[in-house]
Amino acid sequence: MRRSLRKQRPAVLVILACALSWTLASAQQPAASITSQDLRDGLKNPTRWLTYGGDYGNLRHSPLTQITPANVNRLVPQWQFQTDTLGKFEAAPLVFDGVVYVTGPLDTGWALDARTGRQIWRYRRDLPSGLIACCGLVNRGFGVLGDRLFKTTLDAHLVAISRKTGAIEWDTAMENFRRGYSGTTAPLVVKDKVIVGIAGAEYGIRGFIDAYDAQTGKQVWRFYTTAGPEDPGHGTWRGTDAKAWEHGGGSIWVPGAYDPELNLTYWGTGNAGPDYNGLEREGDNLYTASVVALDADTGKLRWHYQFTPHDIWDYDSTQMPVLADITLGGELRKVVLFANRNGFFYVLDRATGKLIRGKPFIQTTWAKEIRADGRPMLLPNSVPSEQGTRVCPDQSGGTNWMPPSFDPSLGLFFVTARESCGIFFTWKDDYTPGEAFRGGAVQRLGDTQSSMLRAIDVTTGERRWEFPFTTQSWAGVLSTASGLVFAGGSGNVMAFDAKSGKNLWHFQTGSSLYAGAMTYMVDGRQYVLMPAGTTLTAFALAEF
Amino acid sequence: MTRTARMIAVVMAFALGCISAHAAAAQDRSAPRSEPRPAANPLEGNALAISNGAAMFRNRCAGCHGADAHGYLGPDLTSYWSAGGTDARMFDIVRGGVPGTEMIGADPLRVLDKDIWQTLAYIRTLSAVPAVAPTGDAVSGERVFRANCAGCHRVNGRGGQLGPDLSRVGSARPRAGLSSKIRGTSDVIRPGYEPVTLVTRDGERIRGVRKNEDEFSIQIMDTRERLQGYVKANLTAITVDKQSLMPAYGPDRVNDRDLDDLLRYLTSLRGTTEVTR
């Protein structure tokens, strides 16, 4: 160890300076349990990773600089952990105090030694038979506060788990899973509340975002993502089914962001249901396919912006909102950055929800552009039909649940993008609780499919660089202050120069990637942790 | 879009559909309990079911069975009932798939029983009696196969492996599709058999079929049936060819009578070994 430290002296000095500044800032050693202030500080302590997006802004941009473009080719595996389950990881692991906390498929979770990958405890829920979940029996990660971890379950519960033992501390039913409700998102923990959303729009659910007391598990507030009779957006549900809003969809797949100054949480909402047949739900169908800004204390809607009014293409806005402060036209703006499944990259004012810019980051044939009033300018011949209608992108969209990253120093937003088209068909589905409720389906057109990592300049919306993948990628993105971007495709986890997009390193994990890398530091050594299939692989610089 | 491009698009769409369906099926999921399957289609003749079924057929079936259900990559469905097929068997095929072919089973979480019955109600409206009785001699056709095809294609454990195994091709392909493939008028190439040419740094050209590929490597079976992987950084060119490695067998190589016999033989192939699901 001494020899390796000598060889890595410059990097070690940077780390020590980093750790010292954190120590001075906090005036104490890292706490044994996580406070709400720790969550608010996010990656100010860069050795940790406490939320799905790394910090409340969801930048997924680490200040760690031990691994650089110059030495990343020395990155080698240090340990692997295998779940011994079926399914796949879609989670963002959390790390603090030398321990990795990660959720897996089929409602599992582990605490692992961050130095070696050795298991400390395992959590596994006894799931009931008859589970209904459209898109994989997955989970996207833990939330944390104090000595508790929080997790949604496939049978639509929210559970609190002891960080020290993996034992259940409370278990709250959010909804009845037999009606198609399921939980897959990682929680967003704000102050004393655990905020989560529900999934299941392909089964005719009525989506919601809930806050629960972190101590007791009691519900504090609920916001429905389909507007009911008491809500101002209720008039946007018209058509042949007067009760369409009751099974109108609006899933939550990934956690929101939080702005402590505005005390607002921001959530992307899923598609309206049935997915493709909009006849029985004419109107904009608020608040589906939108971003909603909710008061963190009360859940009251402060503003909303709908990306895809009257969505009939399954363009869920189930992407992670990214909060950033960027200079536009010489003015510092507090914005939400949102690369949407509908193919447009949006910049919104974070306080008002007003559109600043919407620009396509892939080919789109459903809408030409986003008008100044914030609504899409629809293109003709893009409505799904019984005969089939060709529309780009296909239902999987320009991107999907995989999280992007944002490097504020470069002003670059890195997103796993997809070019695609599909033939959209419709038919009539009658709503039956717990049964598939899509009203159509899509035939993907193979010769239109490609996938790539794209770097978008947030000040212009223009593409700065891209790296093409051989096969469709579902991997998330991580960037670091040393000028690196980690992404992947075809089972390869890869590192890129953030400025140029040049590929600098890769490692074949042996399984498809459905999550993003994260990074942490323990014992002065920076690790990059990549979930792939049912295996976690931790990389660090070779010590030779 | 050219016919070739359209065909490739259909094949790719099918392949993608298979992959996504397989990924979904790979989940250890507990499907909702279905009611016992009735012996006869409960929705036969139902106007709404036929209308819905038409859209479902176009979406899920037409890519392989043709827009008119007369067969394209997959078999002709219009003569199924006139040949003695039953609703129950067709339902089971759709739900369970056909082992050893591209026909995969329908995921019960995505395709409800009533969806299958609606689709069958539509297909039944296209039902017809076959216009032409099968022709050709299968025994003679097997001799034609051994002489011309077995170098690259395997049937029931005998033959080459550069091309697809044809042991069950009679369950998977219609006669017309096989005929056009043999005569060289079809550009359909099955995934895993795309012809590829690699050029090494030494200038060596290697031909084969692509088995897999990622951003940094490619895996092939070369024309001598050698499985081998190559790191792209060590290659100067990788060309995925448009033309199949299979040559066209025009009337000068296989006359019309031999082709008739060969097609009778191929369409009779249903496999002899049990396929494990």
Q: Where are the domains of chain B?
A: 3-125, 138-188+250-268, 194-240
Kindly indicate the confidence band of residue A10, based on its pLDDT and cuts at 50, 70 and 90. low
Say if the Cβ atoms of B26 and A86 lie within 8 Å.
yes
pLDDT at site A544: 66
Tell me the C-alpha distance between B15 and A447, whole Å. 11
**CATH C-level class of B194-240:** mainly beta
**CA-based end-to-end distance of chain A:** 10
Q: What is the mean pLDDT of residues A400-420?
A: 98
Say if the Cβ atoms of A130 and B30 lie within 8 Å.
yes
Cβ neighbours of A449 in B, within 8 Å: 12, 16
> How far B78 CA sits from the closest chain A CA (Å)?
20
Strand ranges in A309-375 using DSSP code E only, listed in sequence order? 322-328, 331-339, 344-349, 355-360, 367-370
pLDDT at A163 over 60: yes
Report phi then psi at B258, rounded to 5. Answer: -65, -40
pLDDT tens across A501-529, in order?
A: 999 999 999 999 999 999 999 999 999 99
Q: Which residue of A has its CA nearest to B213?
A: A470
Say if the Cβ atoms of B55 and A386 lie within 8 Å.
yes
Q: Which residue has the higher pLDDT, A499 or B1?
A: A499
pTM across the whole model? 0.87
Give the residue from B14, B22, B215 with the most A CB atoms within 10 Å of its CB, the best one to mutate.
Answer: B215
The DSSP element (H or E) to which A111 belongs, if any, is strand A108-113
Amino acid at A458: V
> How far B59 CA sits from the closest chain A CA (Å)?
6
The interface predicted TM-score of the complex, written ipTM, equals 0.85
Q: Which residue of B has its CA nearest to A442?
A: B59
Say if the Cβ atoms of A440 and B59 lie within 8 Å.
yes
> How far A137 CA sits from the closest chain B CA (Å)?
7
pLDDT at site B10: 41
Tell me the C-alpha distance between A183 and A203, whole Å. 13
CB A115 within 8 A of CB A165: no
CB B56 within 8 A of CB B63: no
Cβ neighbours of B56 in A, within 8 Å: 425, 427, 441
The domain B3-125 having CATH identifier 2.60.120.10: the answer here is no
Query: How many pairs of residues across A and B have Cβ atoms under 8 Å apart?
Result: 112
pLDDT tens across A171-221, in order?
A: 999 999 999 999 999 999 999 999 999 999 999 999 999 999 999 999 999
Amino acid at A248: G
pLDDT at A235 over 70: yes
Report phi then psi at B155, rounded to 5. Answer: -130, 125
Nearest residue to A222 via CA among A305, A292, A170, A134: A292
Question: What SS3 state is found at A274?
Answer: coil
**CA-based end-to-end distance of chain B:** 37
Say if the Cβ atoms of A130 and B52 lie within 8 Å.
no
pLDDT at A492 over 50: yes
Amino acid at A123: Y
pLDDT at site B30: 39
Range of weakest confidence among A80-89, A129-138, B144-153? A129-138
pLDDT tens across A141-154, in order?
A: 999 999 999 999 99
Say if the Cβ atoms of B28 and A86 lie within 8 Å.
yes
Say if the Cβ atoms of A436 and B24 lie within 8 Å.
no
Amino acid at A89: F
Q: Which residue of B has its CA nearest to A177?
A: B32
Give the residue from A443, A472, A511 with the most B CB atoms within 10 Å of its CB, the best one to mutate.
Answer: A443
Say if the Cβ atoms of A130 and B8 lie within 8 Å.
no
Q: How far from the centroid of its chain's Cα atoms is residue A264's Cα?
A: 18
CB A533 within 8 A of CB A80: no
**CATH C-level class of B138-188+250-268:** mainly alpha
Say if the Cβ atoms of B55 and A426 lie within 8 Å.
yes
CB A156 within 8 A of CB A170: no
Catalytic residues of A: 314
Paired tokens of B104: 């995969």
Cβ neighbours of A471 in B, within 8 Å: 214
Name the B residues in 103-132 with CB < 8 Å from any A CB. Answer: 109-112, 118
> How far A173 CA sits from the closest chain B CA (Å)?
20
Question: What SS3 state is found at B176?
Answer: helix
Nearest residue to A298 via CA among A270, A263, A269: A263
Nearest residue to A85 via CA among A526, A544, A534, A536: A534
CB neighbours (10 Å) of residue B22? 11
Cβ neighbours of A442 in B, within 8 Å: 59
CB B54 within 8 A of CB B126: no
Same topology between domain B138-188+250-268 and domain B194-240: no
Mean pLDDT by 10 residues, chain B (277 residues): 43 39 35 69 92 90 87 86 89 90 86 93 85 86 97 95 93 88 87 95 96 97 96 96 91 96 94 56
Q: What is the mean pLDDT of residues A12-30?
A: 48
Tell me the C-alpha distance between A309 and A281, whole Å. 11
Name the B residues in 153-182 with CB < 8 Å from any A CB. Answer: none
By DSSP bridging, strand A422-426 and strand A440-444 are antiparallel
pLDDT at A402 over 70: yes
Paired tokens of B2: 């050219």
Max mean pLDDT range (A6-15, A333-342, B48-57): A333-342
pLDDT at A18 over 50: no
> How far B16 CA sits from the closest chain A CA (Å)?
7
Burial B36-56 (b: 16+ CB within 10 A, else e): eeeeebebeeeeebbbbbbbb
Tell me the C-alpha distance between B111 and A433, whole Å. 15
pLDDT at site A129: 87
> How far A387 CA sits from the closest chain B CA (Å)?
6
Nearest residue to B53 via CA among B101, B125, B3, B108: B125
Q: What is the mean pLDDT of residues A15-31?
A: 48
Paired tokens of A288: 């589906």
What percent of chain A is predicted at pLDDT more than 70? 94
Tell me the C-alpha distance between A251 and A265, whole Å. 16
Q: Which residue of B has its CA nearest to A384?
A: B55
Question: What SS3 state is found at A420?
Answer: coil
Kindly indicate the confidence band of residue A389, based on its pLDDT and cuts at 50, 70 and 90. very high
